[in-house]
Structure 1
Amino acid sequence: MIVTVTPNPSLDHTVEVDSLRRGEVLRAGPSRLDPGGKGVNVARALAAHGRKTAAVLFAGGADGRRLTELLDEQGVAVRQVPIDGDTRTNITLAEPDGVVTKLNLPGPRCSDADAEALLQAALGACEDGTVWLAGCGSLPPGAPRDTYARLVRRGHEAGLRVAVDSSGAALDRSLTAGPDLVKPNREELAACAGMPVHTLGDAVVAARVLRSRGAQTVLASLGPDGAVLVDDGAALHGEAPVPVARSTVGAGDALLAGFLAAGGAGRDALARALAWGAAAAALPGSRMPAPADVARIGVTIHPSVDADRELKE
């Protein structure tokens, strides 16, 4: 079982537009409403593949109830923690060429007591057979910056492996607790390591900086350049081309879900992660891929990392 923790979940409203033009009235195409937030997406991807999972999250107001209903419809077990205010709504504008514009609202304010209740619920959701606890996404306004560091420490005390997928101070502080896995994207990796990441070699060096600060394994998603995996062994690089990208929203979350579902270590886990992530990018909105979607994706794990290869902008 894999338990995800999402301190700042959302309702994701995706609208397709022919072209995004500022200051004009646009005719919208199809739209969809999905449960959102990084940990929520990880749980959705796992559930779509028949993996046992539970999503622990804050839920507030009518939007929080709707979020829980949508997750229930997708077969995701939810452990909700009440919070004052309404669960946020994020708006995504998707263009036909795959360009996505997101408007992310801040979410309800979180007190220290709220954060403690979330951590207790996360540990309470872990049953016998739980192997991973994954803290994912941004922290809501007011949440202690060491929330994920506390999650890592308590997870380790309970004998669990703990993954963190976040950014900024939340990711930075989590490293002090020694997470078993962190999954930054390119921008988050560069910011946390304090160095530019222009090539695959830069990505590997930056990942090793994060390892020197406490992370055991770094899975860095690099968009169209795939992902690099850096742990105690040799660094690995792999990629999975997306024939037609529909939306990158949630692709990194699907990548993390695939990696954890395959055991959270090694070449095979990296290959599954890339397949799930690419499959998500080929779907509209923040849909998570099912097995049939993943079956159409080809994956290449390269024999070595081409350190001089420049990353696409």
Structure 2
Amino acid sequence: MDAHVMVFAPAPQLTVTIDQTGDEPEIHLHPGGQGVWQARMITCLGTSVVLCASLGGEIGQVLEPLMASEGVELKVVRRDSSSGGFVHDHRDGRQEEVVDVPGHPLNRHELDDLYNLTLGEGLRSAVSVLSGPGDPTLVPSDVYRRLAADLGGNGSRVVADLSGDYLRAVLDGGVSFLKVSHEELLRDGLAGEDSDEEFTRVLHELHASGAESVVVSRADEPALALVDGEVYEVHMPRLRAADPRGAGDSMTAGVAAVLAGGGDLRLAIRTGAAAGALNVTRHGLGTGRPDSIAGLVERVRLVPVGSERQDRTTPDDLADRATTA
């Protein structure tokens, strides 16, 4: 089994961004979607990635060379129906959505081909990351349940960053590492209130339901991590955010990259936290300098919950905390 990561990205999107830094507007085309952003960060950290995806229509024809240029090994199921995409206007500091086209659901034969492709590549990978589609109508949750069970049951460490029905599906199949945000837990009814005690309870419940280790990210509060039965707060320096999006995907990617290289889970979580924190200081999802991330890892601490709490204000805390949701 090779020390690379397989990323399951069933329905990537074409992202069109309108920006303006000078006198003239600019148009930027990039591949997007959770799996693409995760694969980009894993590659930034020096770990090889095989990206399994489905592409179709005119958007798919544009997406394929863009995805191949990301430095990943791209494995594609081509389908008759169209891939999706969105257009955002970022001029004058805006984050305005102009149009969002989710694409068409995969049919039964396309799902079968994508499943077989993903399973084969995942079984050759040290770590398999299961990422979600932008729209839940595109891929049924049962695909995730079966992939988690088949990959995990045959030696691949499964990492997931999912919510809703997809989260319940991978828990049923079993995962090595699960990342979920506190907003998603509250929205899905898995947490009843926003409190340390409630999220600690949920961590243990997610573990009992099928996740070996769990991280719950909590926006401007320290993430909570359950590792080997112990709950930790993930403390990191506070950094000023240029773009708060994508920290959670970068966190998951950092964990996957370290685990694929045989690293310790605690180091993986610290690396993921550093990758997520640094990502929000940049414009561009799933990006970051590996040397900068490595330097930030040294400042991330896992503090056992219940230990004597000290004053959290440090020189690194003078700026705004980078979000990890």
Amino acid at match of 1:160: S
- Deviation (angstroms), 1:293: 4.2
Equivalent positions of 1:175-214 (< 5 A) are 175-192=171-188, 194-214=190-210
Aligned 8 A contact 2:18 2:90 in 1: yes
Q: What is the DSSP-based 3-state SS (H/G/I as helix, E as strand, rest coil) of the residue aligned with 1:131?
A: strand
Q: What is the DSSP-based 3-state SS (H/G/I as helix, E as strand, rest coil) of the residue aligned with 2:29?
A: strand
Q: Which residue matches 1:71? A: 67
Aligned mate of 1:217, from 197, 206, 213: 213
User: Aligned equivalents of 2:231 and 2:74: distance in 1?
Assistant: 36
Q: What is the DSSP-based 3-state SS (H/G/I as helix, E as strand, rest coil) of the residue aligned with 2:175?
A: coil
Aligned mate of 2:77, from 76, 81, 87: 81
Aligned 8 A contact 1:3 1:133 in 2: yes
Unmatched tracts of structure 2, length 5 or more: 310-320
Q: Which residue matches 2:127? A: 132
- Deviation (angstroms), 1:176: 1.1
Aligned 8 A contact 2:38 2:286 in 1: no
- Deviation (angstroms), 1:221: 2.0
Q: TM-score, normalised by structure 1?
A: 0.83
Unmatched tracts of structure 1, length 5 or more: 19-26
- Deviation (angstroms), 1:93: 5.0
Q: Which residue matches 1:23? A: none
Q: Per-residue displacement from partner, 1:96-121 (whole Å, max 9, x unpaired)?
A: 88x85667542221223222221111
- Deviation (angstroms), 1:82: 1.3
Equivalent positions of 1:291-306 (< 5 A) are 291-295=290-294, 297=296, 299-305=299-305
Aligned 8 A contact 1:45 1:290 in 2: no
Q: TM-score, normalised by structure 2?
A: 0.81
User: Aligned equivalents of 2:24 and 2:196: distance in 1?
Assistant: 38
Q: Which residue matches 2:148? A: 152
User: Aligned equivalents of 1:168 and 1:194: distance in 2?
Assistant: 9
Aligned mate of 1:247, from 240, 243, 250: 243
User: Aligned equivalents of 2:132 and 2:20: distance in 1?
Assistant: 27
Counterparts in 2 of 1:302 and 1:125: CA distance versus 1, 3 Å: closer
Counterparts in 2 of 1:214 and 1:40: CA distance versus 1, 3 Å: same
- Deviation (angstroms), 1:132: 0.9
Counterparts in 2 of 1:205 and 1:95: CA distance versus 1, 3 Å: farther
Counterparts in 2 of 1:40 and 1:146: CA distance versus 1, 3 Å: same
Equivalent positions of 1:26-105 (< 5 A) are 32-93=28-89, 104-105=100-101
Aligned mate of 1:10, from 10, 13, 35: 13
Aligned 8 A contact 1:3 1:56 in 2: yes
Amino acid at match of 2:130: G
Q: Which moved more, 1:4-13 or 1:194-203?
A: 194-203
User: Aligned equivalents of 1:185 and 1:15: distance in 2?
Assistant: 29
Aligned 8 A contact 1:226 1:274 in 2: no
Counterparts in 2 of 1:83 and 1:141: CA distance versus 1, 3 Å: farther
Q: Per-residue displacement from partner, 1:37-86 (whole Å, max 9, x unpaired)?
A: 11111111111222111110111123223222122222111111112332
Residues matched between the structures, number: 301
User: Aligned equivalents of 1:233 and 1:93: distance in 2?
Assistant: 45
Q: What is the DSSP-based 3-state SS (H/G/I as helix, E as strand, rest coil) of the residue aligned with 1:80?
A: strand
Counterparts in 2 of 1:290 and 1:43: CA distance versus 1, 3 Å: same
Q: Which moved more, 1:148-157 or 1:231-240?
A: 231-240
User: Aligned equivalents of 1:213 and 1:235: distance in 2?
Assistant: 17
Aligned 8 A contact 1:32 1:285 in 2: no
